[in-house]
Amino acid sequence: MFVVFVLQDPTMCTNLGLKMEEMIFNLADVYFFFNDLEDCDQVHIDETLSDDNGQDLGNYNFQSDGFHDASRNSGLGCLPNSGSRNGIDWMRKLAFRYRRIKEIYTQNRSNVEGKINKFHAFIVFAILTTTNAIT
């Protein structure tokens, strides 16, 4: 209704909304492990603290630790292949992801531009520019 009220092109505004949605999901996946965690049911990041051994994550390779494969190949969403969240190794990897999200948020909440790469910054800027032009 807002689009009609301000006399904007509904198709253009819908496409802009879809671009925003795509950008949000893309950024969530690239920086916050969205595809790994979207089916997990932890209410709060701190729920996994007891599974985190405090390992330095500076050189940790999230892409090759097997978490993604274990949960995706199970057909059970966020659960590992065994169908149980009690696997210590799997829970530790989950805790690492949540800790890394918390670190990224804490370090960059006041400087988002400092975290995202130039390509993503360009996309965000383009969408914001278009949004500002039609609102």
- Over residues 39-95, the pLDDT tens digits come to 887 778 888 889 999 999 999 999 898 887 665 555 555 655 554 445 788 889 999
54: left (phi over 0), alpha (psi -120 to 50) or beta: left
Alpha helices in the chain (DSSP H): 2-5, 10-32, 34-37, 67-72, 88-108, 112-115, 118-134
Instruction: Give the span between the Cα atoms of 20 and 12, in whole angstroms.
Output: 12
pLDDT at residue 127 tops 60: yes
Rounded to an integer, the average pLDDT of 13-29 is: 90
pLDDT, residue 115, reads 73
**pLDDT given at position 25:** 92
Q: Which domains does the chain have, with CATH numbers?
A: 2-134 (3.40.50.12350)
Residue 31 scores a pLDDT above 90: no
Torsion of CA 119, 124, 130, 131, to 10 degrees: 170
pLDDT of residue 112: 73
Task: Give the Cα separation of 69 and 63 in Å (integer).
Answer: 10
Which of the four pLDDT bands, split at 50, 70 and 90, describes residue 21?
very high
The whole-number pLDDT of residue 125 equals 86
Cβ-defined contacts of 65-73 (< 8 Å, 24+): 65/93, 65/96, 66/93, 67/36, 67/93, 67/94, 67/97, 68/35, 68/36, 71/36, 71/39
- Phi/psi at 40 (nearest 5 deg)? -75, 150
Q: What is the pLDDT of residues 2-16, one digit of tens each?
A: 555 555 788 888 888
